[in-house]
Structure 1
């Protein structure tokens, strides 16, 4: 029984380590991308209005530019039809004063 407990404990620590070692603490970019569902239309069309819910989520993620970048370039975002060049403009379109201006995100730079 003690061996089983130790194995389970190491597995839990290993899984937690994977999440905390990435760009997004305690999560993965794909999991965080799900929180940006209110941004779907704004991330596909630069003329679409950006909702308050979208701006709220982007503001939270923008506190960690590495995570925000990873989310916008994630597999989940790409498979949802997000256009990275348009998604990168959302923080500016939300008028976030503390956005990570000039942060290089892959081939893109946050304006």
Structure 2
């Protein structure tokens, strides 16, 4: 009988943890993932690979929008989608500054990188 109670408690705990994970919001909120948001930064492709490349207005608009949540922006720049697209995170973190965004999160730690 004691084994059955322990098993029931264990199953209940696993169910609770599973529910908590489903309800918790990630860096970019409940409705989207960093990988999905990374797709929106397609106009930033060349600017995220070459620090001398010009940054398009459409790129800056998306960075401004995503950058309202600095943890989301970092998660996007370091996402698997960004890596697969050839994004260089060290260069990508310079895009908000290169866009001359006034309210950019200066000094925000983005993994091992800092937003200038």
What range is the shorter-chain TM-score in? 0.7 to 0.9
Alignment of 1:26-41 (within 5 A): 26-41=31-46
2:26 equivalent to 1:22: yes
TM-score normalised by the chain length of structure 2 = 0.80
Query: Structure 1 segments of 4 or more deviating over 4 A?
Result: 13-16
| Equivalent-residue separation in structure 2 for 1:107 and 1:28 (angstroms) | 21
Structure 2: runs of 5+ lacking an equivalent: 1-18
Q: Aligned-pair distance for 1:17?
A: 2.4
Q: CA RMSD in A?
A: 1.5
Query: Which protein shows a greater Rg?
Result: 2
Show the counterpart of 1:10.
Answer: none
Deviation of 1:14 (Å): 7.8
The equivalent position to 1:49 in structure 2, one of 45, 50, 54, is 54
* Equivalent-residue separation in structure 2 for 1:17 and 1:38 (angstroms): 32
Aligned length: 97
Partner of 2:3: none
Deviations 1:33-71 (A, max 9, x none): 000000000000000000000000000011000000000
Cα distance, 1:16 vs structure 2? 6.4
Among 96, 102, 115, the alignment partner of 1:110 is: 115
TM, length-normalised to structure 1? 0.83
Give runs of aligned pairs for residues 1-111 of structure 1, distance below 5 A.
17-18=23-24, 21-25=25-29, 26-111=31-116
| Distance in 1 separating the partners of 2:77 and 2:111 | 10
